[in-house]
Structure 1
Amino acid sequence: MTGPVVIRDSLPKPGAQLGQVYGDADCTQSGQTITCVSRDGPLAQGLPLSFSMDLRLPQTTRAESFRNCAELALIDPDDRSALGRDDVRVLQDTLSALGHDPGPSYGVVGPRTLRAANAARADLGMTESQTLDRALLARLLGVSPQQKDANPDNDRACATVGLQVCSPG
């Protein structure tokens, strides 16, 4: 990868909310999915990418620990299917991380997102378009059709943490 790194986290607890993010990543939440885009740019082979985040669990949570997993969001540039809302959000976050202004990152394509996408296309020598696709997202993330994941076994990581009960106030 030669562009920003995208990580997706599907929260196992309904109602969990993203709090503070620590490290060089911009994160957004939609429902139970958190998407983070690194601000550090490319991830060199063999080097880690680390950041942490606070999650607020619903007050009804009655567990002593919480297990959560996150994984690299890998984009297939040959996939011609339509971008879903989460993919559009990743595209918006990536455009923003690269200095373009797509407007708010909420997963809906509007005029600002299209302008930012076409500015990025121009930077990359691509043809302007009125649609968003995986080919653009892959180019922004530095993924080429020839590129293969050298170690797919390390694309997912999990952590289990003990929970502390905090009193109100």
Structure 2
Amino acid sequence: MNWTMTDQDYKILKKDLETKLIENNVSSILIHELFETFDDPDSTEEDFTSMQLRILSGLSKPEDTNFYYNNSRKSVIKYIEDEIFKLICLKDEEYAKERTSLFSKYESIIALVSASISAKFGLESGLISGLVSSMLLAIFKMGKNAWCVRKSDLSKETNK
């Protein structure tokens, strides 16, 4: 089998590829970098893999996945967010057991993080666990509150 390609064949292939990439909204910068990689005799397999990943990440759109039904903007992701909202923001009985289990793991997380920090910096574990506990609690609480407020605001806007 002859794998040699004429310059004309290469130009046609390049043009077809460029057209397909443009049709799929791939950035002109990535297309240019891809062709530079093709044209560089020192390009490695890693170079091509990197370009492939960069182009594919630009092509992936959530609305093109199975998380969306019948071209609807309402997605499974929205339903998952609603359930997470019920789990962490509301005192919904449906998730009472899961909420208790989730928050009971907090002490284990503190012990693990404290031990890691102690080992890294050579500090006494008991000394640092209070600080770690306070910091983690503040981070978790701020994140939870911000997410719950955001989700509540979005729900209010949707219901208007």
The question of a shared fold, defined as TM-score above 0.5 by the shorter chain, is answered with no
TM-score by length of structure 2 reads 0.21
Greater strand proportion = 1
Higher RCO (CA-CA < 8 Å; seq separation 6+): 1
Greater helix proportion = 2
Larger Rg: 2
TM-score by length of structure 1 reads 0.21
